Structure 1
Amino acid sequence: MFLTVNIGSSSLRLGWHDGEAGSATTAPFDGKGGATVLSRHIGQFIEAQGNATPTAVCHRIVHAGAAYGESCFIDDKVVAAIKANSPLAPLHNPLALELIEACRALFGAAVPQVAVFDSAFSHNMPDYAALYAIPARLGIRRLGFHGIAHHLMWQAAVKRNPQARRVISLQLGSGASACAVRDGRAVDTSMGFTPLEGLMMNSRCGDIDPGVLLYLQQEKGLSVSEIEDLLNRRSGLHGVSGGNTSLKDLLLLDDDQSKLAVDMYCYRIRKYVGAYVAALGGLDAIVIGGGIGEHLPEIRRRCFDGLAFLGVEMDDCRNASCDGSGGVISAPQSNVTVEVVVLDENRFMADEAARLFAQPAR
């Protein structure tokens, strides 16, 4: 029996997995209240399971540095690595540490805890994609994130079409990322050394000229902490629209800034799709996941408009009817299959925990 704990940018998702059966809940969480609120959510969920003690608690961890490329049991060394990398994932790692501590307080040290790293799927990207054009002695490389989601989307593409060798997966939620996958291996991904790089997100900036950061510090007098807050919490849709992070709302608004925010969001996704077709040498499938990807047909339509020259042809009826459910949204004659997938990250995490327990020596 595994308890899965999945903290996102705006929610806490908990799962209880007992063989094939299981239950799950999602609680909104804005980062306030810390360990107290997190512990209360977990305690209420466990109470609903009859106060059973889990065999292990499995956490989604954004990353603990380049040394951790596979799921593992959490010990003091892993905790230290998560903490050391918290400045690189400030929206997630500190909360993950609080969740680990909350679960230790609830269940005791005898219940093992497992880390499933979101950077694992892109851990073995080729160096030409993973490295930055800065001195190698600095030891900085692109790690990539949303790996659980991208792994599941690649599996979905291959399940639908075993001949799909070149896949682009798009995780579109509060955070957003793209991944180019060839023959099951991530060859490039939009998030980098931190989750800031890449696509425009709810409150994160995505790609930005690093010279802007120097300008903000040297000419505008912003401190490092102010710049970190700006890029992680007050940019993206929030920054462009003037405070709104809901694409559903922005689509209904008629002011110029709201329209611009939507246009920028969709354009950047479309640009990455084009780049990744080049990286892959062609394209067989696009798979879309995440809350925005699942629930906003109009955003999907805008992202793929004009891509018929790449073999991507959308079916308006299929797309419009796919709201909160999975399914193919491309036209029957499309050379590239476009599919929406409802992801079960918690099931994947539980399977990873079971795999670790099945290994001969722990």
Structure 2
Amino acid sequence: MTNACNIKGALLVLNSGSSSVKFTVFQVDTVAAGGHQLAPFFAGQLDGIGTAARLKAKAADKGLLADEPWGHLDKGTVPSVLPHLLSWIENNLPTDLPLRAAGHRVVHGGSLFDKPVLATASVIAQLDGLSPLAPLHQPQNLAAIRALAKSRPDLPQVACFDTAFHQTQPALSTTYAIPKRYTQEGVRRYGFHGLSYEYIAQYLAANKPGLAKGRVVVAHLGSGASLAALKNGVSLDTSMGFSALDGVPMGTRPGAIDPGIIIHLMRRYSLDADELERLLYHESGLLGVSGLSNDMRAIEASQEPDAQLAHDLFCSRVAKAVASLAVSMGGIDGLVFTAGIGEHSALIREKICRYLAWLGFALDPLSNEANDGLISTDGSLPVHVVPTDEEYMIASHTIKLQFG
């Protein structure tokens, strides 16, 4: 761990997928009492890797830094292009802001990791063993860590887990009704989007302490969507389970589905594991129901009956999840919407809260349209829109672990 008394530099946060990398660079400064201050410096995305790679980046003030094709550097995989991205990032940092560390979003920490850890070779090997639990995410996350380690072996890297925040959940929330031998092998409910929920919990503690001490359902609604029950800022239950397929319908994922359907598809249509994986991860959800798009904005704009069904189905299932999670907490004192859809779709929030009117929720139309802050009426249980910041959460964990 580096001495916390004299730290100034930059910290890189990476969120790596199969054909894209999102990145944020934070400026780090030491403040009083050995603490640290984080400020976004610039951020961007390298997408289309393997087809038509393109780098886009903006400064903290939203000024354009880059919008350029990277096909000449594209070797078809994220790991092959990461060293070039790292060079671009360092070349765009002032000389007095050296890159000090990198933090990574890693989807699955299993039961092994309940907090961020330094990404050593032994840790990476353990995380590799969890890849079957998140086959479309975990290998990509680890490939980025390995590529960065090869390119910059001197750069400390920290793995931050989407599952860690939910490690506080009781066995009642994490156990499936299956033979115990499978539970002992790790077939249990883990929950995801933990970095987002952790950020919201900290935000509420700092800005809404009364509500933070109560029973709150947080709805992280984006292309991937889940909800979590937080009591006194601690996760008690969540809608996602063993994998990121469970819970409410998502952009291309079905959410909760009768296991008998899987058996039927295997027997009736002879679908194998790879075909089922493609169906459940890439062809279902809003896309499957609407037949139009996995993008909620396109679905909201459409008048097609199937698009309207997809919209209504999403809102109904989210409302059911809110009510279910209230049971896990013995009641509910407030609701928070976050993530892409949760933060920006007034219509989605209005429909969901209309379903939940019997629980005491009512929205103020003008506040709801503003997409920020308290959006409920005076007589309602409080409903808030809070923009999440998983990148800040990763940066915060990274700096604490690396610099104290």
Query: What's the TM-score once normalised by structure 1's chain length?
Result: 0.91
Match of 1:116 in 2: 160
Correspondence for 2:374: 328
Matched, 1:102 2:111: no
Unaligned runs of 5+ in 2: 1-9, 30-36, 51-75
Aligned to 1:24: 42
Contiguous gaps of at least 5 residues in structure 1: none
Q: Distance in 1 between matches of 2:16 and 2:370?
A: 29
Structure 2 residue 111 is matched with structure 1 residue 66 = yes
* One-letter identity of the residue aligned with 2:275: E
Distance in 2 separating the partners of 1:62 and 1:248: 26
Q: How far off is 1:24 after superposition?
A: 3.3
8 Å contact 1:64–1:81 — kept in the other structure? no
Partner of 1:15: 24
What does residue range 29-40 of structure 1 map to in structure 2 within 5 Å?
29=47, 32=50, 33-35=76-78, 36-40=80-84
Counterparts in 2 of 1:30 and 1:133: CA distance versus 1, 3 Å: farther
Task: Give the superposition deviation at 1:316.
Answer: 0.7
Aligned counterpart, 2:246: 197
Aligned residues: 354
Taking the aligned partners of 2:243 and 2:49, their CA distance within structure 1 comes to: 19
Hey, what does 1:350 align to over in structure 2? Answer: 395
Larger deviation, residues 24-33 vs 150-159 = 24-33
Shift of 1:90: 2.7
> Take 1:234 and 1:289, find their aligned partners in 2: how far apart are those partners?
25
Q: CA deviation at 1:159?
A: 3.1
Are residue 299 (structure 1) and residue 355 (structure 2) matched? no
Identity across matched positions, percent: 35
Structure-2 change in CA distance of 1:10 and 1:200 (3 Å) = farther
Contact 1:141 1:193 in 2 (8 A): yes
Question: 1:30, CA displacement in angstroms?
Answer: 5.8
CA contact (8 A) 1:157 1:287 kept: no
Q: Is the 8 A contact 1:65 1:81 kept in 2?
A: no
State the structure with more CA Rg: 2
What residue identity is the alignment partner of 2:177?
A
What is the TM-score when the length of structure 2 is the normalising length? Answer: 0.82
Q: Does 1:239 align with 2:291?
A: no
> Is the 1:170–1:287 contact (alpha carbons within 8 Å) kept by the matching residues of 2?
yes
Return 216-225 or 18-27, whichever deviates more: 18-27
The answer for the alignment partner of 1:2 in structure 2 is 11
Q: Provide the aligned C-alpha RMSD in A.
A: 2.0
User: Secondary structure of 2:168's partner?
Assistant: coil
SS in 2 for 1:158: helix
| Aligned residue type for 1:158 | A
How many Å separate the matches in 1 of 2:131 and 2:86?
23
> What are the within-5 Å matches in structure 2 for residues 1-362 of structure 1?
1-7=10-16, 12-17=21-26, 18-19=28-29, 20=37, 21-27=39-45, 29=47, 32=50, 33-35=76-78, 36-50=80-94, 53-106=98-151, 108-138=152-182, 139=184, 140-164=187-211, 165-322=214-371, 326-334=372-380, 336-358=381-403
Q: CA deviation at 1:53?
A: 4.4
